[in-house]
Structure 1
């Protein structure tokens, strides 16, 4: 006698289905059918997942709004100039600038050997970088590299003399 291939399953959500388990080895069908019975049916699982995605999207939107408000308040407190770029890039750039400078301050001043006077020079250099894309590009940079990155940004913005004119 052959082991059955169609198994009736009563899922944890209460829905009943019949599953074709012929794709599994005969000696593994009963155990898999038991496991399936402990799970929600496919429709309930999808509905819950969609709900989770909506909850995640709402949570992320709230988190981004909080970060944005905090970054804008920080920018105002420390007299950081407005950034240039698209509306979306400016919002992201403000958050990145805040995160980059806060991480650098923690690493260099609070945990490192940079004194407040040296930090103020770094902070002042940061005020001259107003392109949102630059801050977005630096969001993963190492805190110890910030002074060098700011110097490179300021050199890139300086007009170069062309000896041919």
Structure 2
């Protein structure tokens, strides 16, 4: 007598289905059928996944909107100039600038040895960088590196003196 190939499965969602398991080795069919019974049917699984993707997208959109509002309020409070770039880059750059400067303030002033006066100088230098792309590029930088990054950016912006003229 041959091991059956078509199994009647009652899924965890309550739906029932006939499953052809002939593509599996005979000694693995019963175990797989048991596992299938513990899962939702394909239609319920897809519906749940699609709902989760929609929920995730809505959550992410709301989180980005909240971060954007907080970053824009912070930019106004600390008199940060508007950034330059595409509309999308500007929004992202504003969030990156806020996150980097806030993290740097915590690391350098609150947890480090930088005085408030020294921080004000760092903040003033940060105001001179208005290219959104620069802030986006620095988003993964360590907060302790901010001073060096700002120095490199402002030195690159200065015209170099040519000793040959």
Shared fold (TM-score, shorter chain, > 0.5): yes
SS at match of 1:156: helix
Q: In structure 1, the residue corresponding to 2:7 is in which secondary structure?
A: strand
1:46 is displaced (CA, Å) by: 0.9
Partner of 2:96: 96
1:158 & 1:22 partners in 2: Cα distance? Answer: 73
Alignment partner, residue 131 of structure 2: 131
In the alignment, structure 1 segments of 5+ residues that lack a partner are none
Structure 2 matches for 1:5-84, cutoff 5 A? 5-84=5-84
Question: C-alpha separation between the residues in 2 aligned to 1:119 and 1:48?
Answer: 49
The two structures, once aligned, show a CA RMSD in angstroms of: 1.4
Give the CA deviation at 1:33: 1.1
| Offset at residue 163 of structure 1 (A) | 5.6
CA distance in 2, matches of 1:44, 1:162: 71
Distance 1:84 1:39 in 2: 51
CA distance in 2, matches of 1:146, 1:24: 58
Q: Secondary structure at the match of 2:113?
A: coil
Structure 1 residue 123: Cα displacement: 0.8
- In the alignment, the residues of structure 2 paired with residue 120 and residue 36 of structure 1 have an alpha-carbon distance, to the nearest angstrom, of 63
Return the alpha-carbon distance in structure 1 between the equivalents of residues 128 and 85 of structure 2: 15
- TM-score for the superposition, normalised by structure 2: 0.94
TM value normalised by structure 1: 0.94
Q: Structure 2: any 5+ residue segments left out of the alignment? A: none
Q: Distance in 1 between matches of 2:30 and 2:111?
A: 59
CA distance in 1, matches of 2:129, 2:118: 18
| 1:113 and 2:109 matched | no
